[in-house]
Amino acid sequence: MIFSDYVKAHTNTYGLDLTDTQIDQLQRFYEQVVTTNEHMNLTGITEPEEFALKHVVDSLSCYDPKYFTKGATVIDLGTGAGFPGVPLGIYDPSLQITLFDSLQKRLRFLDGVIEDLDLQGLQTLHGRAEDLAHQEYRESFDLLTSRAVARLSILLEWGLPYVKVGGYMVALKGSIVQEELEESKRAVSILGGEIVEVKEVTLPTLEDKRAIVYIKKVKPTAKKYPRKPKEIKIKPL
């Protein structure tokens, strides 16, 4: 089987309905990641089925129309090679997604992907989370997504300042999600958030546990957050 066959099979199993055009876009995205990965460290996962499951289906597992409303503005924090932002943008072209990363070379790669696949709702943004949160991007997005960037207590301080009051932060987490939730209770409250749903995720053929944490922004984040990187890491909320 080729990559597109795995995508079709596993998205169907997970209950996701993709068009032939979307599957073709994901195939081309996969090819670009694998080719570029030969000279730029984008991912350690390049085998077709593993990529389909652990990158594509995993990215799309966070999509829920009650949070991802049509035309919503999304910032994908620490997007890396474009996850979950690019698969989400392919799956729902109405979303206006900003792929945000601190490494310019990754964003140059993603600019090429956006142009090649004609993903008109996507754009890139270069910077550090703790810096741009104090600029015009603060509280300007309906949603923030983030996958495998940091522990939840730290991720909340980086991410919630970008989310509008009434919007949502969507964190894709792994097997220790309960531990992270427990240590994040204070941070959620201080930063103006409220955990509204924790969705357990089981990907087809995989046994490892995953979860999606949906956090609603219920009040503005105090202007002093996020703090400096050193302070965040030494003294998390």
**Residue 56 has what pLDDT?**
96
Q: Establish if 24 belongs to a structural domain.
A: no
Q: Establish if 1 belongs to a structural domain.
A: no
What domain range is 171 assigned to?
A: 65-234
Q: Establish if 216 belongs to a structural domain.
A: yes
Question: If DSSP codes are grouped into helix, strand and coil, which group holds residue 187?
Answer: helix
Q: Establish if 203 belongs to a structural domain.
A: yes
Q: Establish if 31 belongs to a structural domain.
A: no
Q: Establish if 76 belongs to a structural domain.
A: yes
Q: Establish if 29 belongs to a structural domain.
A: no
Q: Establish if 144 belongs to a structural domain.
A: yes
Q: pLDDT digits over 34-54, tens only?
A: 999 999 999 999 999 999 999
In whole angstroms, what is the distance from residue 134 CA to residue 125 CA? 15
CATH code at position 79: 3.40.50.150
Q: In the chain, how many domains are there? A: 1
CA angle 74, 79, 82 (to 5 degrees): 95
> Does 157 score more than 80 pLDDT?
yes
pTM for the structure as a whole: 0.95
